[in-house]
Structure 1
Amino acid sequence: MHIESLKYFQEIAKVKSISKVASNSHISQPALSQQIQKLEDFLGKELFIRSNRGVKLTESGEIVLKYADNIIRIYNKMIADLNDQESKEIKIEGEYTIATYCLPCAILNMQFKFPKHKYNLVAASSDKIEQDVLSDICEVGFTTHPAQAKNLYSEEVINEKVVLISPPAFDLPEKLKLEEILAHKFVILKEDCIIKEKFKDALGDLDHNFSEIDVITQLDSTEAIKTLVRKGYGVAFVPYNAVRDEFSAKEINVSRIKDYDLDYDIYMINKRAEFVSQDVKEFTANFKKLGKHICY
């Protein structure tokens, strides 16, 4: 099986059109169809149902698509490692908020300690990070939950402080009880995240339901949330590291909830010592020594 055929298959499954992929890839449609036919012949399964309106995955095609992304990324990682044998780059993945606001500061500290190390930090969804560590697509992952796989090691390394941000005009105090803010309008993230989970649990303790909260909108990013809060639309719970600059510039107010702990731990996950390079061993061992409040 040629890896290029699998890449073409993945792209066709995404856009549901062989002709569009052929045009985008600057390859003739007959040549692309031949590539897919060879893949189907190799697997012994029909992958697409073809019609005048495009293509649709067969049941076998759905199975192949489930594994295609991981196979392609492992292949790309192998090629990168072959090309970078001298660089000893450590590939790190973190959940989106962690990778954006928390880890850059921590990795900079590590860079000062190990100037010969090279780090490649990318953001990834939580469901991919553990699989990527298992598959050697990255060496180290950072998530808000410990690893589930038995052959992975995970440890709490950072404590992320969660704060309530509000427009200065609201004039909220630095410390308040959760009950005192429930009448406000909230801006929250769309996807499930640990801040939302802990907020829901705290509401349950107060005999409130999350559905009773006045949520004016659910957004895809913390940056979008900060924008709406700065403009005065409502309040939001976010990691403190995400709003340090805005707080210093007095664009927003920051408050702490004094009767509930909404802070959370960040876990570093990696393969056990016997399966990682010396550089990764040095990184993980010394990252733990930075302390849980790395950027404060």
Structure 2
Amino acid sequence: MNIEYLDYFCKVAIAGSISKAAKESHISQSALSQQILKLEEILGTKLLERSNKGVELTDKGIIAFKYADNIIRTYNAMLKELKLADENERNIKIEACWSIATYSLPCVMYEIKNQFGNYSYELNPNELDLIEQNVLNNICDIGVIYNKPKSLNLSYYKIGKDKIVLVAPKNYEIEDEIDFEELVKHPFILLNDKLHVIDSINEKLNIIGLKIEDLNILYNSDSAESVKSSVLNGFGIGFLPYTSIKKELYNEQLKEINIRDYSIEYDMYLIYNNNIKGNEVLYNFIEYFKKIAKKSLC
């Protein structure tokens, strides 16, 4: 199978439009359509539903996209590593949950760069499950996630803790400590960022005879930055990772609201392949990462 078939399929799936993907790929729309048809013929199934509004993935198209995206990323990682090998340079690829990559690891990376200055580094945010998959498939060298990995083929090492906290604008009228049921009294921006915050909130609401629909939810978002911006602008209150709002709490732009008998805490883990000892360079890097991370998290 031509790798380009999968590449073009992923571009169309992401763009939601054959014409848009064709324009971005600098090929004709008809040529791109032929590539997709050839892929569907090879796989023996329809991958896209076409309409005047664009294209949508079929149920089997969703499955194909998941694996095709992984194949393309693995292929590109191989090409990049081959190039780096030619240049006698080591590139360390790190993926981490969004708030960890954005707020916790920059200080660690500064210390590591001082120790391993001859290496180049990539630090990218990603979803928890995808990070595990990418470490297993060697798309990235290590990952940093909340909670222990699911796969038995991954080793892990605890480097720190984070928690989800309820925050409000500094001058917002709310007590510094409240009971959980008082949440229904306030406009709420809900974070849904794969940390199962909604599940935890819903479980607590069920205990006190309420449900998630009883909250005055303005909107929900998988972006912590979007929730933080809304809270800062006084639109309501919201739950956010502590690492993402430390600065705003210190500068008194936001205030933390304690909830009696309720908390959400997560351990942060470095994860890597079990067979890491076969790669001396990466093994030494990881051992240093373990040593420095606990005292260098931002």
TM-score normalised to the size of structure 1? 0.81
Report the CA distance shift for 1:139/1:245 in structure 2 as closer, same or farther (over 3 A).
same
- On the 8 A contact 1:159/1:263 being kept in 2, the answer is yes
Aligned to 1:65: 65
Report the CA distance shift for 1:218/1:116 in structure 2 as closer, same or farther (over 3 A).
same
Deviation at 1:245, TM superposition (A): 2.1
Query: What do the CA deviations read for 1:14-39 (whole angstroms, capped 9, x no partner)?
Result: 55665554444332455445545655
Report how many aligned residue pairs link the two structures. 294
- On the 8 A contact 1:45/1:60 being kept in 2, the answer is no
Could you tell which deviates more after superposition, 146-155 or 24-33?
24-33
Aligned to 1:75: 75
CA distance in structure 2 between the partners assigned to 1:55 and 1:184 by the alignment: 40
Aligned to 1:136: 138
Could you tell which deviates more after superposition, 131-140 or 54-63?
54-63
Aligned to 1:100: 102
Aligned to 1:232: 234
Aligned to 2:195: 193
Q: How does 1:112-261 map to 2 (within 5 A)?
A: 112-170=114-172, 176-179=177-180, 181-182=182-183, 183-204=185-206, 206=208, 208-257=210-259, 259-261=261-263
Aligned to 1:7: 7
Query: What do the CA deviations read for 1:148-189 (whole angstroms, capped 9, x no partner)?
Result: 222111233220133322112136566x35448533332221
Deviation at 1:70, TM superposition (A): 1.0
- On the 8 A contact 2:191/2:240 being kept in 1, the answer is no
Report the CA distance shift for 1:90/1:163 in structure 2 as closer, same or farther (over 3 A).
same
CA distance in structure 1 between the partners assigned to 2:33 and 2:180 by the alignment: 62
Identity %: 35
Deviation at 1:69, TM superposition (A): 0.8
CA distance in structure 2 between the partners assigned to 1:34 and 1:199 by the alignment: 48
CA distance in structure 2 between the partners assigned to 1:50 and 1:162 by the alignment: 40
- On the 8 A contact 2:101/2:123 being kept in 1, the answer is yes
- On the 8 A contact 2:169/2:237 being kept in 1, the answer is yes
Amino acid at match of 2:77: K
1:262 aligns with 2:261: no
Query: What do the CA deviations read for 1:106-138 (whole angstroms, capped 9, x no partner)?
Result: 322333343333321111122211111111111
Could you tell which deviates more after superposition, 143-152 or 251-260?
251-260
Deviation at 1:65, TM superposition (A): 3.1
Report the CA distance shift for 1:111/1:177 in structure 2 as closer, same or farther (over 3 A).
farther
Report the CA distance shift for 1:271/1:39 in structure 2 as closer, same or farther (over 3 A).
same
CA distance in structure 2 between the partners assigned to 1:61 and 1:216 by the alignment: 33
